[in-house]
Structure 1
Amino acid sequence: MSVVGFDVGNESGVVAVVRQREIEVVLNDESKCETPAIVCFGEKQRVIGTAGAASSMMNPKNTVSQIKRFIGRKFSDPELQKDIKSLPFSVTEGPDGYPLIHAQYLGEDRTFTPTQILGMVLSDLKIITEKNLNSAVVDCCIGIPVYFTDLQRRAVIDAATIAGLHPLRLYHETTATALAYGIYKTDLPENEPMIVAFVDVGHASMQVCIAAFKKGQLKILAHSYDQCLGGRDFDEVLFHHFAAKFKEEYRIDVYQNARACLRLRAACEKLKKMLSANPEAPLNIECLMDEKDVRGFIKRDEFEQISIPILERVRKPLQKALADAGLSTQDIHSVEVVGSGSRVPAIIKILTEFFGKEPRRTMNASECVAKGSAIQCAILSPMFKVRDFQVNESFPFSIALSWKGYGAADNQQSTVVFPKGNCIPSMKALTYYRSGTFTVDVQYADACELQTPPKISSYTIGPFQSTKGEREKLKVKVQLNHHGIVSVESAVLLEEEEVEVPVVKEAAKEETKMETDDAHPSSTETDVNMQDAKTDGPGAENGVSESGDKTSQMETNKVSF
């Protein structure tokens, strides 16, 4: 069994493996730990990763990048529309409302879904890992952003299936970072928890996690995020600054040339990195457009001045994370900073002012998510023995169940089944009284915060026959699995029947003993008591179908985690 952790970022991918009691980051053919998450389509072949990045300048309109921003999102999504404007390849709306990526491949016009492109990227990382391990790679853990919706999580699993991978768990990137940080700590307290804030500023997003550490234990207290605040936003600020400057000085409009845009963006990214270590930096590009060489110059103070609208957004996720955890900055023991975008000095300055302490960089900013995912894979693997370290993960959204009322209360009713911060995995049971087939909707209770449609899925429960036209008692189990995906797992028709049992003293003692032996006190399954919710009971199976399209017989056995 392979023990592999994948971190597929917006810009590049990193893979870590566990072997010989160590966690190693896999190096690609260029002996680099980071492999570009790029797919370039050509007339004769398709190139991925480093080779794809090398071909991007010569073939920009057929080079697909930043695919992580497309996964599981509607074409009409405002943020996706904003991303599309800055990318050189063509994207249109498909018949299902989701984006389709267009490219010239093998001399034909082809369309690909974001899931297919992500599958290609994962397949390339898988091949690199198999070369390194000299064995097949199937089982793995994949790091995902904490803000990924149910649909995005399902799309990642589909992409992994396309690549021939079997994800044992989709792991939140911030939790993977916290696990990689805490599992090697030998000085963790036994009583009072040590609170650590993890701030991950990646290429396209910012994530914050507040975690409590004790000896052999990690508990996630709160998550927060800004889906559109990352290193690339600083690149875009520099890009627009110099595009306007060159239009004024050299009379060239880079917006009219896809290759010129790519070259200027690449130069601005290098310039941003230079400004992270120097108070000023030059920008020189030969033959940018119309055979004109261009030159520019900017100071760090000027760069920070034009970046104020971005920097002003850094504090909001920090404040929200502390508020959700019910803590103040004085409760934070230390602040750990990771992610490629965190190297901007202005961000470090804001973090220092907010928390009142200097952020630390004790972990490799690019490798920590992959390493944490690999550790989680080792914990799940029977092939490795990992030191006892309990991880209490929390779900970042509130999930509600909605249904149409019965009889006089013929209106839409709902209840929060998994509140924000609920542990993963978890299962809850609701009891309904119905005389015929009915539908329940799974939806986000805080959809406004997510900026996504509230509905996740619909389930039709039935058909079943009621006796004497009376309402029957049905128990519906709702599962939040280890991937963070919500589903109605089973529906059971409960029938009560009186049975006369002779009482024998000695037999009763034996029966009591057996019941005690068979009890499962550690089960996380709980009943949700509401207007039409009751308790467990014996039952018979009923059909449950998602979105009303397909019907499947669900399990009636009690599930314990």
Structure 2
Amino acid sequence: MSIIGLDIGNENCVVAVAKQCGIDVVLNDEAKRETPAMVCFGEKQRFLGTAAVASATMNPKSTISQIKRLLGRKFSDPEVQKDLRLFPFEASESPLDGCVLIHVNYMSENNKFSLTQILGMILSNLKQIAMKSLETTAVSHCVIGIPAYFTDLQRRAYLDAATIANLKPIRLMHESAAIALDYGIYKTDLPEIEQIIVVFVDVGHSDTQVSVAAFKKGQVKMLSHAFDRSLGGRDFDEVLFNHFAQKFKEEYKIDILTNHRASLRLRAACEKLKRVLSANAEASLNIECLMEKDVRGFIKREEFETLSFDLLERIKVPCKKALEDAQLSSHKIYAVEVVGSGSRIPAIMRVLSEFFKKALSRTLNASECIARGCALQCAMQAAMLSRTFRVRKFEVQDSFPFSVALCSKSPASETDEESVPTPSDRFLFSKGDPIPSTKVLSLCKSGPTFTLDADYVDTGDLPPGTSPKITTFTIGPFQATKSEKPRIEVKVGLNLHGIITIESASLIEEVGIPVTESPASREIKKNKDVELSADAAGDDAGKCYASTGSTSPIAINSRQHMKKSKRTDTLDNEVVNRGLPQEELQKAVEKEVDLARQDKIMEETKDTKNAVESYIYDMRNKLSDIYHNYATESEREKISRDLQQTEDWLYGEGDDETKEVFIKKLDELKNIGDAIEQRYKEKGAHSQAAADLMHDITSNRNLAPYRDTKYDHIDPKDRQKVIKTRKQDSMPKDADPILPSAQADTRKRTEVSNRNFKPIMTQPNQNAPHGGERSSEPMDIDHEQDPENTHSE
């Protein structure tokens, strides 16, 4: 089983794998360590990753990217609407869950895909990259990094996308915890008793996360999480984009915002410009033929930082909140580790250094640390189940960034759509509780069923407009006795993915059982009760017990009473609002299989078409060079004519043909070409074969002049079989070989020679004076009398 960790970024993705020598980052088909999180739909094929980037300019309205921050959020969300205005693709509201649906033109039809399906396509591509790199098909289990601020719906969307990609996530791991694991597991100087505090600042492409972690030898505990969902490297790109869009509108009279293709080109240029400004004090921007005009721009780093002043100030907010939640001050911090693709901007480093009053550290790979941490976590999970796989023990105690309450519906509101809080509301998980966690609740209910709503307590931690409701659990049905009020025990879990679940629900009843007591047993019980009272009251009570115990009257008749006993029944529970319904999820899985099959067909078709094109150019060059003497004039004319006709067809009406048609065309060209190629190969191989079989050939060629009388008894037909080996040298190059050279090794060729010729050469002479003994003497070669016996090429 291959162990992989996945970092799904808003812009790029990284795949890391655990091997015996450590953690390696997997290279994609272009030998790059990062793969774009992008999907592009062409007319007949999807393009994923790097291929999607190459096709984005040609199909801007069918290219989907930067879906991470939109996943699991409502279409009506103001932030979602703001982001959608930046993208060229068309989107609408899903009637199923109110989330975003993407509209693309694929296979000459209008198709709609949910963001969960798009994420499933990205995961499928990453899985294929891992399988090719590892040369295995056993890639299924993984750990996927997610932002700590992801809501329950977003986490479930990741699990659904993994199901679509046929992946089995062992854990959805907070990206901050993965960074902390990659940081701590390699440190050998961690203290055993006193803990050290490290702050991790992750400035990504679209978000900023700040976390505080406490390290000890062999363990890390996440103390707090803070974040800004809409502050990342792309926001600084947008500052440059808006600046130059306005500038070009004034100078060149072109409105970039009205052209999707021009907007894509300018944004790509601004991203490169930002990187140049990170290393230089000034930079220029040049784009040719942008809306039919060549444009130029120039900016200094100071001007860029002035334009980005508000963004730089916002970075301080999550830093301050993280320290407050961890109840720490900056002087207790051991180190501040900065990661993320957006952290390379010098102004961000300066702001963070001033805030924490400490020199910043960059010991981790800014782009790969999350994937490496996820791969390490996956390896540790696998090591628990394997005796052969070993990983250094390092405990990661992550924390939940939200507070969750469990609410029950009042009897008057059982039919309402929304939960109505009642006095029995229970505070379930607090912010900072460890992941995973389990709590047992004891509830008193009288109806056959009841519902529990899990809600977020602090809506300020949620995206604007997000409903605080997480999910609804329905417990029951159950039947209880009328005499006793039942008690329901519900075990609520916060699992490894950070999702609230009902692990079990049980009905516990106290049932009365009649018990008959004899007079003697009642007297014994009475004496024990008095004795217990005496022990509780002291020595005086004991004396009183002694006097009263001997004079107490004893009843004669038997007596009955009800003894209480507990009975436990397991109850069913049903969950609603769990992401994609099962039937929709199954349809998405089948759709992904169909898309992958179509992609494979188109790739094979392109490969076959390229094979035809390559054969045309290759054969045409060889016919005028090395194959020229190995083909007759008529053969050269025919194959040249066929090559030209196939080339014209290939770039004309045959450009859009199927794989089977291209295979047929290639076979037609090879009918003549293969024969010419075989002659060329046989001529070159014959000299080598002749050298390998020199001993056997020289032993047999004396038959040609028939000068040795001791072989006169051999039949002339048998002699012709041996003579053919000599005639091959005198054949013209454009003739087919009489005796094809063997394609095996020397030993096999020798065996063939001995098997064919030795029985002929050793035939017994019945007229010999010694009774027809076989001739085993070696034959001498007379080169003067056999001038043709020379070794050919």
What amino acid is the match of 1:464? F
Residue in 1 aligned with 2:405? Answer: 400
- Are 2:453 and 1:441 aligned? yes
- Farther-moved stretch of structure 1 (301-310 vs 459-468): 459-468
Given that residues 233 and 342 in structure 2 are in contact (C-alpha distance below 8 angstroms), is that contact kept between their aligned partners in structure 1? yes
Q: For residues 259 and 421 of structure 2, what CA distance do their matches in structure 1 show?
A: 56
Residue in 2 aligned with 1:60? Answer: 60
| Identity percentage of aligned residues | 60
- Are 2:360 and 1:359 aligned? yes
Alpha-carbon distance, 1:45 to partner? 0.8
Given that residues 471 and 577 in structure 2 are in contact (C-alpha distance below 8 angstroms), is that contact kept between their aligned partners in structure 1? no
Q: For residues 32 and 444 of structure 2, what CA distance do their matches in structure 1 show?
A: 60
Residue in 2 aligned with 1:559? Answer: none
Residue in 1 aligned with 2:51? Answer: 51
- Are 2:495 and 1:481 aligned? yes
Q: For residues 204 and 504 of structure 2, what CA distance do their matches in structure 1 show?
A: 39
Alpha-carbon distance, 1:312 to partner? 1.3
What secondary structure sits across from 2:432 in the alignment? coil
Given that residues 283 and 299 in structure 2 are in contact (C-alpha distance below 8 angstroms), is that contact kept between their aligned partners in structure 1? yes
Deviations along 1:455-474, whole A, 9 cap, x unmatched?
01111222222322653111
Aligned Cα root-mean-square deviation (Å) = 1.9
Q: For residues 46 and 193 of structure 2, what CA distance do their matches in structure 1 show?
A: 56
Alpha-carbon distance, 1:488 to partner? 2.0
Residue in 2 aligned with 1:460? Answer: 474
Deviations along 1:401-452, whole A, 9 cap, x unmatched?
0113579xx9624222110011111111111111112211011111232132
What secondary structure sits across from 1:495 in the alignment? strand
Alpha-carbon distance, 1:498 to partner? 6.5
Given that residues 459 and 548 in structure 1 are in contact (C-alpha distance below 8 angstroms), is that contact kept between their aligned partners in structure 2? no
Q: Please, which runs of 5 or more residues in structure 1 have no aligned partner?
A: 501-536, 550-561
Larger % of helix: which? Answer: 2
Q: For residues 118 and 79 of structure 2, what CA distance do their matches in structure 1 show?
A: 19
| Structure 1 pair 260–86 and aligned structure 2 pair: CA distance change class (3 A) | same
Residue in 2 aligned with 1:432? Answer: 443
What amino acid is the match of 2:253? R
For residues 252-331 of structure 1, the aligned pairs below 5 Å read 252-289=254-291, 291-331=292-332
What secondary structure sits across from 1:292 in the alignment? coil
Q: For residues 63 and 103 of structure 1, what CA distance do their matches in structure 2 show?
A: 8
Residue in 1 aligned with 2:390? Answer: 385
Q: For residues 94 and 242 of structure 1, what CA distance do their matches in structure 2 show?
A: 35
- Farther-moved stretch of structure 1 (319-328 vs 64-73): 64-73
Alpha-carbon distance, 1:548 to partner? 9.7
What amino acid is the match of 1:302? E
Given that residues 182 and 369 in structure 2 are in contact (C-alpha distance below 8 angstroms), is that contact kept between their aligned partners in structure 1? yes
Residue in 2 aligned with 1:139? Answer: 141
What secondary structure sits across from 2:493 in the alignment? strand
Q: For residues 323 and 340 of structure 2, what CA distance do their matches in structure 1 show?
A: 20
> If the length of structure 2 is used for normalisation, what is the TM-score?
0.63
Q: For residues 331 and 324 of structure 1, what CA distance do their matches in structure 2 show?
A: 14
Q: For residues 300 and 538 of structure 1, what CA distance do their matches in structure 2 show?
A: 74
Q: For residues 567 and 89 of structure 2, what CA distance do their matches in structure 1 show?
A: 58
The structure that has the greater radius of gyration is 2
Residue in 2 aligned with 1:412? Answer: 422
Given that residues 460 and 548 in structure 1 are in contact (C-alpha distance below 8 angstroms), is that contact kept between their aligned partners in structure 2? no
What secondary structure sits across from 1:412 in the alignment? coil
What amino acid is the match of 1:547? V
Residue in 2 aligned with 1:35? Answer: 35
Residue in 1 aligned with 2:613? Answer: none
Q: For residues 178 and 293 of structure 2, what CA distance do their matches in structure 1 show?
A: 47
Q: For residues 172 and 458 of structure 2, what CA distance do their matches in structure 1 show?
A: 22
Q: For residues 146 and 86 of structure 1, what CA distance do their matches in structure 2 show?
A: 25
Q: For residues 390 and 435 of structure 2, what CA distance do their matches in structure 1 show?
A: 22
Q: Which has the higher contact order (CA 8 A, sep 6+)?
A: 1
Given that residues 239 and 265 in structure 1 are in contact (C-alpha distance below 8 angstroms), is that contact kept between their aligned partners in structure 2? yes
Deviations along 1:354-376, whole A, 9 cap, x unmatched?
11112111011010000000000
| Structure 1 pair 538–203 and aligned structure 2 pair: CA distance change class (3 A) | farther
Residue in 1 aligned with 2:786? Answer: none
| Structure 1 pair 548–313 and aligned structure 2 pair: CA distance change class (3 A) | closer
Deviations along 1:65-120, whole A, 9 cap, x unmatched?
01112211110111111110111111111113111001111111110000000000
- Are 2:90 and 1:123 aligned? no
What amino acid is the match of 2:77? D
Q: For residues 94 and 421 of structure 2, what CA distance do their matches in structure 1 show?
A: 35
Given that residues 485 and 509 in structure 2 are in contact (C-alpha distance below 8 angstroms), is that contact kept between their aligned partners in structure 1? no
Alpha-carbon distance, 1:547 to partner? 3.3
Given that residues 435 and 469 in structure 1 are in contact (C-alpha distance below 8 angstroms), is that contact kept between their aligned partners in structure 2? no
Given that residues 210 and 321 in structure 1 are in contact (C-alpha distance below 8 angstroms), is that contact kept between their aligned partners in structure 2? yes
What secondary structure sits across from 2:189 in the alignment? coil
Q: For residues 159 and 264 of structure 2, what CA distance do their matches in structure 1 show?
A: 31
What secondary structure sits across from 1:267 in the alignment? helix
- Farther-moved stretch of structure 1 (227-236 vs 54-63): 54-63
Larger % of strand: which? Answer: 1
Q: For residues 45 and 257 of structure 1, what CA distance do their matches in structure 2 show?
A: 25
Residue in 1 aligned with 2:671? Answer: none
Q: For residues 419 and 95 of structure 1, what CA distance do their matches in structure 2 show?
A: 34
Given that residues 203 and 231 in structure 1 are in contact (C-alpha distance below 8 angstroms), is that contact kept between their aligned partners in structure 2? yes
Residue in 2 aligned with 1:518? Answer: none
What secondary structure sits across from 1:29 in the alignment? coil
Deviations along 1:276-306, whole A, 9 cap, x unmatched?
11111001100111x1110100001110111
Given that residues 484 and 509 in structure 2 are in contact (C-alpha distance below 8 angstroms), is that contact kept between their aligned partners in structure 1? no
Given that residues 16 and 24 in structure 1 are in contact (C-alpha distance below 8 angstroms), is that contact kept between their aligned partners in structure 2? yes
What secondary structure sits across from 2:211 in the alignment? strand
What amino acid is the match of 1:399? V
Given that residues 74 and 99 in structure 1 are in contact (C-alpha distance below 8 angstroms), is that contact kept between their aligned partners in structure 2? yes
Residue in 2 aligned with 1:524? Answer: none
Alpha-carbon distance, 1:386 to partner? 1.1
Residue in 1 aligned with 2:373? Answer: 372
Alpha-carbon distance, 1:217 to partner? 1.0
Residue in 1 aligned with 2:70? Answer: 70
Given that residues 178 and 370 in structure 2 are in contact (C-alpha distance below 8 angstroms), is that contact kept between their aligned partners in structure 1? yes
What secondary structure sits across from 1:7 in the alignment? strand
Deviations along 1:105-140, whole A, 9 cap, x unmatched?
111111000000000001001001001111120001
Q: For residues 221 and 250 of structure 2, what CA distance do their matches in structure 1 show?
A: 54
What secondary structure sits across from 1:213 in the alignment? strand
Q: For residues 416 and 434 of structure 1, what CA distance do their matches in structure 2 show?
A: 18
Q: For residues 577 and 473 of structure 2, what CA distance do their matches in structure 1 show?
A: 6
- Are 2:219 and 1:209 aligned? no
Residue in 1 aligned with 2:87? Answer: 87
Q: Please, which runs of 5 or more residues in structure 2 have no aligned partner?
A: 413-419, 516-565, 579-793
Residue in 2 aligned with 1:495? Answer: 509
Residue in 2 aligned with 1:546? Answer: 575
| Structure 1 pair 303–481 and aligned structure 2 pair: CA distance change class (3 A) | same
Given that residues 223 and 432 in structure 2 are in contact (C-alpha distance below 8 angstroms), is that contact kept between their aligned partners in structure 1? yes
Q: For residues 73 and 313 of structure 1, what CA distance do their matches in structure 2 show?
A: 23
Residue in 1 aligned with 2:598? Answer: none
Deviations along 1:232-273, whole A, 9 cap, x unmatched?
000001000100000000000011100000000000000100
Alpha-carbon distance, 1:497 to partner? 4.4
Q: For residues 471 and 316 of structure 1, what CA distance do their matches in structure 2 show?
A: 51
What amino acid is the match of 2:85? K
Q: For residues 548 and 8 of structure 1, what CA distance do their matches in structure 2 show?
A: 24
> If the length of structure 1 is used for normalisation, what is the TM-score?
0.89
